[in-house]
Structure 1
Amino acid sequence: MNTKKDIIVLTGAGQIGMAIARRMGHGKKIFVADWKLENANTITQIMKEAGFDTVPFEVDISSRTSILGLIEAAQEEGEISMFINAAGVSPSQASIEQILKVDLYGTALLLEEFGKVIRQGGTGITISSQSGHRMPALSPEVDRQLALTPTEELLDLEVLKTENINDTLHAYQMAKRCNVKRVMAEAVKWGERGARVNSISPGIIITPLALDEINGPRGDFYKNMFAKCPAGRPGPADEVANVAELLLSDRGAFITGADFLIDGGSTASYFYGPLQPETN
């Protein structure tokens, strides 16, 4: 009979999620979950060939039933010790409704359900975005609503009604701002189990999706962004994994409910440098 292992659950079978899972996955069983099973199979195969114990799984993060099915399957193999959420859709990929349903509501669902089952001493991380840092500050009341509204009521908030969302980029910014606020609120609940959860807000990270964006209709916007940021370049997924490794390991034991902006300084340049909207 197989000995039960510590389980890592990764949602979002892409380059960032894989980079983090490879960094943290030695000796653990890794569930690689994605809404497209072919994506999960691809990442699973790459990791298997590098010596990791991986299992592909199909999940729709905007469905509580689907998430609970993933959790049940993972728990049959062992205790969930680590959760990595790198799933989401982008402003040029999806409609306002899809972005709010997947990136905002779906992330809230994941944080809620994995917070109920993460083992004592477990850790979690969700990948947000620099986009959430680009909007002006919201009111304390709206921040509190985004943080604490019961998950099933989130999309009914006045601020998230489609008539109050300008376009898909605005929807994405709201979703990512909400991710950070939910992580703060969930960190309090996770702490009752002796567990921690944080978020990372990457800038332009080179992935197949980012390459599509850079080579697509908004390509000049992205090229200008990384050319005029202090780092002068986009980042590889492994640089996100560097920070994730700190947050998910014992070395980050005093860090929870926090968000880490990893964008080569592009947000700094947006507010105080050559990327300021009025100077573009």
Structure 2
Amino acid sequence: MTTEVTVVIGAGSMGQAIARRIGVGQMILLADINEDNAKAAATALTGAGYRTSTARVDVSSQDSVRELADTAAGLGAVMHVVQTAGLSPAQASPEAIIAVDLVGTAHVLDEFARVIAPGGSGIVISSQAGHMIPALPADQNEALARTPAGELAALPFLQPDTITNSGIAYAVAKRANTLRTQAAAVTWGDRGARVNSLSPGIIMTPLALDELNSPAGALYQEMIKASASGRVGTPDEIGTVAAFLMGRDGSFITGSDLLIDGGVIASIAAGRFQVQMG
């Protein structure tokens, strides 16, 4: 009997929540740039009855992602790929966010398109931030969707004179994630697999805590209060939605992005909250 494999890239609380939903009976390969994080996640999941393996990956490196994809394929049939790796505006420079959140996601989509099994599925964790910026020109959308991953960071509109701070870098990277996922749905479909993106709002994770404790924390609190739900989300809520998109009930959904933000973008559209990315 062939082993089925779930790959979780970014071994934090959101990735673990998704793994718990979709990884039952499979080998869960947990990959992170910090292998200690991957091992800690593996210990938690193994203690709950899951089979796990760990690896180190730097998503900003195509070679590193290719090695991870080959490792996953060596374990068995790659049925699920979960891309959660990323940096937040409070954590990194614009250049680092472009390298990890934007280019890194492109590497994951490209390299796992080679090994995803028929009937498999993937999910990319994007962000509500990608929905906050104005529409981009059509040529920029096309460039973000289809430029070879190794050339993305050199695009003229991603240079420091345009991407002037980490908040803008993050929003553009997350917009790119949804465009890139839609484009990748075609090549994944050639292998009989599907891929979608999720755009979470403020989900209570260590990354979100960094943002809430940053100088922008007061703005985030205002955003939460103005949203339709009036609260933060939980990793388990993301896990539930991801499991739907990746499972049998979501089998006709591919190349789509689902906003799961408690109504933050709706409150912005209604004029109840204003956010400035610059």
Tell me which amino acid in the other structure corresponds to 1:36: N
Task: Quote the residue 1:235 is aligned against.
Answer: 233
Task: Quote the residue 1:170 is aligned against.
Answer: 168
Task: Quote the residue 2:120 is aligned against.
Answer: 122
Within 5 A, what are the aligned runs for 1:175-214? 175-214=173-212
Q: 62, 79, 82: which one pairs with 1:81?
A: 79
Distance 2:136 2:264 in 1: 21
TM-score (norm 1): 0.96
Distance 1:248 1:22 in 2: 13
Task: Quote the residue 1:136 is aligned against.
Answer: 134
| CA distances 1:246-278 after superposition (whole Å, capped 9, x unpaired) | 110011011000000000000111121321349
Listed as ranges, the gaps of 5+ residues in structure 2 are: none
Say yes or no: does 1:59 pair with 2:57: yes
Q: CA deviation at 1:217?
A: 2.3
Tell me which amino acid in the other structure corresponds to 1:87: A
Find the residue that maps to 1:162 and give its secondary structure.
coil
| CA distances 1:42-87 after superposition (whole Å, capped 9, x unpaired) | 1111000000001121110111111122122222211111100010
Find the residue that maps to 1:40 and give its secondary structure.
helix
Say yes or no: does 1:215 pair with 2:213: yes
Please say if residues 82 and 123 of structure 2, whose CA atoms lie closer than 8 Å, have aligned partners that are also in contact. yes
CA RMSD, 1 decimal: 1.2
Q: 1:257 to 1:118 in 2, by over 3 A?
A: same
Say yes or no: does 1:8 pair with 2:29: no
Listed as ranges, the gaps of 5+ residues in structure 1 are: none
Distance 1:277 1:185 in 2: 29
| CA distances 1:160-215 after superposition (whole Å, capped 9, x unpaired) | 11221121000001100110000010001111111100000000000122123223
Tell me which amino acid in the other structure corresponds to 2:79: S
TM-score (norm 2): 0.97
Q: 255, 273, 277: which one pairs with 1:257?
A: 255
Distance 2:163 2:213 in 1: 27
